[in-house]
């Protein structure tokens, strides 16, 4: 029924699967669901964005990078948020007006942890579950690749609220 000549291409294709899986560890295409990163990603309800993700673990992280990480509450769920604070940063938890009235509290991100927030105010992020461990980070979002009219979107045009406390405050804290 199956001659040798028909099976052989299939077997050859199967041997390439591990190579493809290894390639996927460097870059990966991923769909963004939900509106927590609005207006940067998923700006309207009509379409969902597909983004290119660099999964290869970068050793250094920068503020305002968009990252994918495993949710602390469920390891099978992956969140996409923006880094707002690196380890040992002092951050304001609340709005600037509260800061001006000295009503805001400062929080210190522990060593080896990151403070992540969605661009949308209504997002489940570090404001609800606290700083996340650096080991949960999976990758960094590089660019939007689908839909085509959103090619070349500047991901850092809107970087969320400004919550980083000046260094002097961090020292006094």
Partner 1 sequence: MTILKTTTTLLKCFCLLHQVHVHLYEFTQTRGESMLPTLSAQNDFVHVLKHKKLIHTVGGPRGLRIGDCIVLMKPHDSSQRVCKRITGLPGDIIEVDPSYDNDFDNSFIRVPKGHVWVTGDNLSYSLDSRSYSVVPMGLIIGKVVAANDFNKKWYQRDSITNKINFLGYRKIDNNYTDCK
Interacting residues with partner 1 (CB under 8 A): 15-16, 18-19, 21-22, 25, 69-76, 110-113, 132-137
36 as an active site residue: the answer is: yes
CB 123 within 8 Å of CB 81: yes
47 as an active site residue: the answer is: no
**CA–CA separation, 152 vs 102, rounded Å?**
41
Q: Between 68 and 155, whose beta carbon lies closer to partner 1?
A: 68
CB 29 within 8 Å of CB 141: no
Q: Which residues contact 43 (CB under 8 A, 6 or more apart)?
A: 150
Residue 42 CB, nearest approach to partner 1 (Å):
24
Residue 11 CB, nearest approach to partner 1 (Å):
12
Residue 59 CB, nearest approach to partner 1 (Å):
9
**CA–CA separation, 114 vs 9, rounded Å?**
47
Q: Between 1 and 77, whose beta carbon lies closer to partner 1?
A: 77
Q: Between 39 and 110, whose beta carbon lies closer to partner 1?
A: 110
Catalytic entry in 33, 47, 73, 81: 81
Nearest-5° Cα angle at 156, 152 to 161: 150
Q: Between 129 and 151, whose beta carbon lies closer to partner 1?
A: 129
**Closest to 26 (Cα-Cα) out of 136, 145, 138:** 138
Residue 29 CB, nearest approach to partner 1 (Å):
19
Q: Which residues are catalytic?
A: 36, 81
């Amino acid at each position: 029924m199956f001659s040798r000549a028909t099976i052989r291409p299939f077997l050859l294709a199967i041997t390439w699967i591990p190579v493809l899986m290894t390639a996927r560890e460097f870059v990966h295409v991923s769909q963004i669901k939900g509106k927590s990163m609005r207006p940067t990603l998923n700006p309207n309800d009509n379409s969902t964005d597909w983004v290119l993700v660099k999964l290869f673990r970068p050793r250094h992280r920068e503020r305002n990078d968009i990252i994918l990480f495993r949710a602390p509450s469920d390891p099978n769920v992956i969140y996409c948020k923006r880094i707002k604070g690196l380890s040992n940063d002092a951050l304001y938890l609340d709005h600037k007006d509260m800061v001006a009235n000295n009503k805001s509290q400062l929080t210190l991100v522990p060593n080896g942890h990151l403070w992540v927030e969605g661009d949308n105010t209504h997002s489940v992020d570090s404001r609800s579950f606290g700083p996340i461990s650096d080991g949960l980070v999976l990758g960094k979002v590089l660019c939007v690749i689908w839909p085509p009219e959103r090619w070349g979107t500047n991901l850092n045009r809107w970087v969320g609220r400004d919550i980083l406390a000046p260094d002097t405050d961090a020292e006094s804290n």
